[in-house]
């Protein structure tokens, strides 16, 4: 697994030992960023269920101004920190080890907003629409934000909900990407 493009392009990233994570395949990540970028200009990124941090690190490498990584597994948090150090991007990043919903509460209290939102939960978790709605309700999704949900093929989060509108859905084997634009209005 590697950073595909930008400041840290070509650098290899560490993975978490074992089967507790499912890193995004490079070809899926490359397709994802060609659909939402490919480069950014200072946007703030939120990487939920961050695993190795590959999605947020890719966003930072391509010009995102800051990224917050959230994962409850201490091994994942440690790997994210090592990957940020290795890529030279740690100065523009924060790693929160803890439950995603608790992290959203903390970020909301701090008045944070994000223009890029990545959700790559375990495939047995199917509540990403609820999490996106919570991001919207808490004011964490900036108007015009792009939210990318990586999920198992066959899971359908719908085309419109909580201020989000489906931009594109793409399938890569058993992995699907649903990309949403946030209009800033809740429904």
Q: Is residue 107 part of a domain?
A: yes
pLDDT tens-digit series, residues 101-113:
999 999 999 999 9
Residue 19 pLDDT grade (very low, low, confident, very high; cuts 50, 70, 90): low
Q: Is residue 175 part of a domain?
A: yes
Q: Is residue 114 part of a domain?
A: yes
The three-class DSSP label of residue 167 is strand
Q: Is residue 2 part of a domain?
A: no
Residue 156 pLDDT grade (very low, low, confident, very high; cuts 50, 70, 90): confident
- Helix or strand (DSSP H, E) at 157: none
**What CATH number should be reported for the domain holding residue 39?**
3.40.50.150
The three-class DSSP label of residue 104 is helix
- Average pLDDT for residues 10-22, to the nearest whole number? 82
Q: Is residue 6 part of a domain?
A: no
Nearest to 30 by CA among 181, 180, 177, 182: 177
Judged against a pLDDT cut of 90, whether residue 126 lies above it is answered with no
Whole-structure pTM value: 0.93
- The domain tally of the chain equals 1
- Average pLDDT for residues 70-88, to the nearest whole number? 97
Q: Is residue 68 part of a domain?
A: yes
pLDDT averaged over the chain? Answer: 92
Q: What is the pLDDT, as a whole number, of residue 184?
A: 54
Q: Is residue 109 part of a domain?
A: yes
Judged against a pLDDT cut of 80, whether residue 185 lies above it is answered with no
Q: What is the pLDDT, as a whole number, of residue 25?
A: 81
Residue 167 pLDDT grade (very low, low, confident, very high; cuts 50, 70, 90): very high
Q: Is residue 187 part of a domain?
A: no
Judged against a pLDDT cut of 70, whether residue 171 lies above it is answered with yes
Range of the domain at 72: 26-182
In sequence order, the 6+-apart residues with CB closer than 8 A to the CB of 102 are none
- Average pLDDT for residues 170-185, to the nearest whole number? 88
């Amino acid at each position: 697994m590697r950073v595909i493009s930008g400041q840290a392009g070509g650098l290899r990233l560490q993975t978490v030992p074992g089967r507790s994570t499912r890193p995004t395949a490079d070809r899926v990540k490359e397709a994802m960023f060609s659909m939402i970028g490919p480069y950014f200009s200072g946007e703030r990124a939120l990487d939920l269920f961050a695993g190795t941090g590959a999605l947020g690190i890719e966003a930072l490498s391509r010009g995102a101004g800051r990224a917050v990584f959230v994962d409850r597994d201490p091994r994942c948090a440690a790997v994210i920190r090592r990957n940020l150090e290795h890529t030279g991007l740690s100065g523009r990043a924060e790693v929160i080890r803890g439950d995603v919903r608790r992290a959203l509460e903390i970020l909301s209290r701090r008045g944070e907003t994000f223009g890029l939102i990545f959700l790559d939960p375990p495939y047995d978790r199917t509540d990403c629409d609820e999490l996106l709605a919570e991001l919207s309700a808490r004011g964490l999704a900036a108007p015009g934000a792009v939210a990318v949900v990586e999920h198992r093929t066959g899971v359908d989060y719908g085309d419109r909900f909580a201020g989000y509108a489906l931009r594109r859905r793409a399938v890569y084997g058993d992995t699907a990407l649903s990309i949403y634009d946030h209009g800033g209005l809740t429904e």
